């Protein structure tokens, strides 16, 4: 899955880069056409000026995200009116006397100002048909995608926890004869192995989903900040214009130019939202495709009874509720330091604000704490001792060792790690060497460059090169071989004339 998701990321990144390169090439071509236009002769001045002005209008439409003006006459006239208000056709005469670099600078500024005027007209209710919806269309789509990601993240986190519960339930048990040895059977061992494989698969999908959700959250924050600044600029422009028929350019033009720049940034975020949606669809398709142990247990469940995984999770939740928060371990190595975690938090619980429905401050603090931990927030001791991928319980606190903070899912794991952190980390690296798929999941692939999926993708996508050559003899030797020579005497007699 890691290779497939990285391949999807790489394909989407290359698609965006290719699209941006093609768009930028078109923008540069139009800009050069305007900046390189020559002053026409008197007999053809009017037609030449109109062609240059049309090219300038096309440049503004493409660079400002007003592509509708290229195909819709109403939108085109609206953008032309906005351009004409700040740069009428008669201004081309003086514009063509400037140097090429100065023309390029003015063309870029004109594009931003024209878009800003269109935004102002839409704000006061006198136009805006050529403009895309911007945040008005971005926010609903982004919030819907965010809800989908949160739902998928909850499902994947539940499946990872369920697989760990199945591993715990199928662990070897002490013998009944009181000898102290552990009893195991092939069926339990096979179930543990299958549950561990499914846990790794779901955990990889969970890590990818959390990365996408964080990226989308950053995009939402950026759009919110840009939209707030755009609203502030629109209010400032409305106050500056008021009911006056003429306003000094030095007052409103900087406002219009900044509004145009903000619109370009919002337009790019809308493009990225499409990419995030594609990646989410790809991830949702890769995270399933087979019948899991949890699904088998749900099908075999009797009415009114819990599945074995649900019973084990309920027992773990009851134990977790009894653990005191931020209890230091009994023994702490000299190189280690105990770090307190968010006290009002528990693993897997998502508390929401009653008014907005968003995750509460305690849940957000716990999520931020877990994301800052080493090993992607998984318990190192349980991974080594039982092969379980269990997310930490934040209220237990953590241990800082060599600049990284490690969290734990049980007090016993905290005590075992704190007594000898070096041995625990070395044991994790040994597990990663046996199961390389864990390197990226646990954020340890930096220690193993050979396991970097980017290097694997580069090797897979690069053209295959092989050595090929042909040998030519230098000294030719005549062999004088008669290929029709017949050695059989009876064959020669049969061929002799009678």
Q: What is the pLDDT of residues 417-465, one digit of tens each?
A: 999 999 999 999 999 888 888 888 888 877 766 666 666 656 656 666 6
pLDDT at 441: 85
Residue 351 domain-assigned (yes or no) = no
pLDDT at 460: 59
Q: Are residues 122 and 239 in the same domain?
A: no
Q: Are residues 174 and 143 in the same domain?
A: yes
Residue 295 domain-assigned (yes or no) = no
Residue 277 domain-assigned (yes or no) = yes
Q: Name the domain boundary from 110, 132, 154.
A: 132
Can you give the three-state secondary structure of the chain, one letter per residue?
CHHHHHHHHHHHHHHHHHHHHHHHHHHHHHHHHHHCCCCCCHHHHHHHHHHHHHHHHHHHHHHCCCHHHHCCHHHHHHHHHHHHHHCCHHHHHHHCCCCHHHHHHHHHHHHHHHHHHHHHHHHCCCCCCCCCCCHHHHHHHHHHHHHHHHHHHHHHHHHHHHHHHHHHHCCCEECCCCCCCEECCHHHHHHHHHHHHHHHHHHHHHHHHHHHHHHHHHHHHHHHHHHHHHHHHHHHHHHHHCCCCCCCHHHHHHHHHHHHHHHHHHHHHHHHHHHHHHHHHHHHHHCCCCCCHHHHHHHCCCCCCCCHHHHHHHHHHHHHHHCCCCCCCCCCCCCEEEECCCCCCCCCCCCECCCCCCECHHHHHHHHHHHCCHHHHECHHHHHHHCCCCECCHHHCEEEECCEEEECCCHHHHHHHHHCHHHHHHHHHHHHHHCCCHHHHCCCHHHCHHHCHHHHHHHHHCCCCCCCCCCCCCCCCCCCCCCCCCCCHHHHHHHCCC
Q: Are residues 140 and 277 in the same domain?
A: yes
**Measured between alpha carbons, how far is 230 from 224 in angstroms, rounded to an integer?**
10
Rounded to two decimals, the pTM is 0.75
Q: Name the domain boundary from 132, 152, 178.
A: 132
Q: Are residues 91 and 180 in the same domain?
A: no
Q: Are residues 157 and 249 in the same domain?
A: yes
Domain residues for 277?
136-288
Q: Are residues 21 and 103 in the same domain?
A: yes
pLDDT at 350: 53
**Measured between alpha carbons, how far is 279 from 120 in angstroms, rounded to an integer?**
35
Q: Are residues 413 and 329 in the same domain?
A: yes
Q: Name the domain boundary from 75, 102, 132.
A: 132
Q: Are residues 85 and 152 in the same domain?
A: no
Q: Are residues 269 and 146 in the same domain?
A: yes
Question: How many folded domains does the chain comprise?
Answer: 3
- pLDDT in tens for each of the 498 residues of the chain? 566 777 777 787 788 888 888 989 999 999 999 888 887 766 677 888 888 999 999 999 998 888 888 888 999 999 999 999 889 988 888 888 888 889 899 999 999 999 999 989 888 888 778 887 666 678 888 899 999 999 999 888 888 998 888 888 888 887 777 776 777 788 888 888 888 888 888 888 888 898 889 999 999 999 889 989 999 999 998 888 876 667 788 888 999 999 999 988 888 888 888 888 888 888 888 777 777 878 777 776 667 677 778 888 888 888 888 888 888 888 888 888 999 988 755 555 555 555 545 566 777 788 888 888 999 899 999 999 988 999 999 999 999 999 999 999 999 999 999 999 999 999 999 998 888 888 888 888 777 666 666 666 566 566 666 666 666 767 767 777 788 888 888 888 888 875
Residue 482 domain-assigned (yes or no) = no
């Amino acid at each position: 899955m890691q290779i497939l998701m990285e391949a999807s990321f790489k394909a989407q990144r290359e698609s965006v880069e290719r699209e941006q390169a093609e768009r930028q090439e078109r923008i540069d071509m139009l800009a050069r056409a305007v900046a390189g236009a020559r002053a026409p002769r008197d007999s053809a001045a009017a037609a030449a000026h109109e062609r240059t002005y049309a090219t300038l209008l096309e440049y503004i439409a493409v660079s400002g995200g007003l592509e509708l003006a290229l195909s819709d006459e109403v939108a085109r006239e609206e953008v032309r009116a906005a351009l004409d208000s700040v740069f009428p056709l008669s201004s081309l005469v003086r514009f063509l006397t400037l140097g090429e670099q100065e023309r390029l600078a003015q063309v870029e500024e004109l594009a931003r100002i024209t878009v800003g005027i269109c935004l102002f007209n839409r704000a006061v209710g006198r136009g805006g048909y050529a403009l895309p919806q911007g945040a008005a269309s971005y926010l609903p789509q982004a919030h819907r995608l965010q809800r989908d990601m949160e739902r998928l993240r909850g499902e994947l986190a539940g499946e990872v926890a369920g697989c760990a519960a199945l591993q715990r339930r199928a662990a070897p048990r002490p013998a009944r004869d009181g000898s102290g040895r552990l009893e195991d059977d092939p069926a339990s061992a096979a179930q543990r192995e299958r549950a561990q494989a499914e846990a790794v698969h779901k955990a990889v999908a969970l890590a990818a989903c959390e990365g996408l959700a964080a990226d989308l959250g950053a995009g939402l924050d950026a759009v919110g900040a840009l939209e707030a600044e755009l609203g502030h600029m629109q209010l400032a422009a409305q106050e500056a214009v008021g009911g006056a028929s003429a306003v000094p350019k030095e007052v409103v033009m900087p406002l219009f130019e900044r509004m145009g720049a903000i619109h370009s940034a919002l337009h790019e975020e809308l493009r990225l939202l499409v990419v995030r949606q594609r990646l989410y669809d790809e991830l949702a398709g890769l995270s399933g495709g087979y019948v899991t142990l949890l699904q088998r247990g749900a099908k075999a469940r009797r009415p009114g009874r819990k599945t074995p995984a649900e019973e084990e999770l309920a027992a773990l939740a009851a134990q977790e509720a009894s653990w005191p928060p931020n209890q230091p371990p009994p023994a702490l190595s000299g190189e280690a330091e105990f770090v307190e975690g968010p006290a009002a938090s528990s693993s897997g619980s998502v508390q929401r604000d009653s008014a907005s429905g968003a995750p509460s401050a305690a849940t957000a603090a716990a999520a931020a704490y877990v994301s800052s931990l080493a090993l992607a927030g998984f318990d190192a001791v349980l991974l080594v001792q039982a092969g379980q991928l269990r997310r930490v319980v934040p209220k237990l606190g953590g241990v800082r060792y060599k600049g990284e903070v490690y969290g734990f899912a049980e007090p016993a794991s905290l005590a075992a790690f704190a007594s000898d952190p070096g041995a625990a980390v070395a044991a994790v690296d040994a597990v990663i060497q046996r199961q390389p798929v864990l390197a990226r999941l646990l954020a340890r692939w930096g220690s193993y460059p050979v396991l970097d999926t980017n290097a694997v993708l580069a090797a897979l996508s690069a053209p295959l090169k092989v050595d090929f050559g042909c040998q030519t003899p230098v000294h030719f030797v005549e062999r004088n071989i008669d290929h029709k020579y017949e050695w059989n005497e009876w064959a020669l007699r049969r061929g002799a004339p009678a």
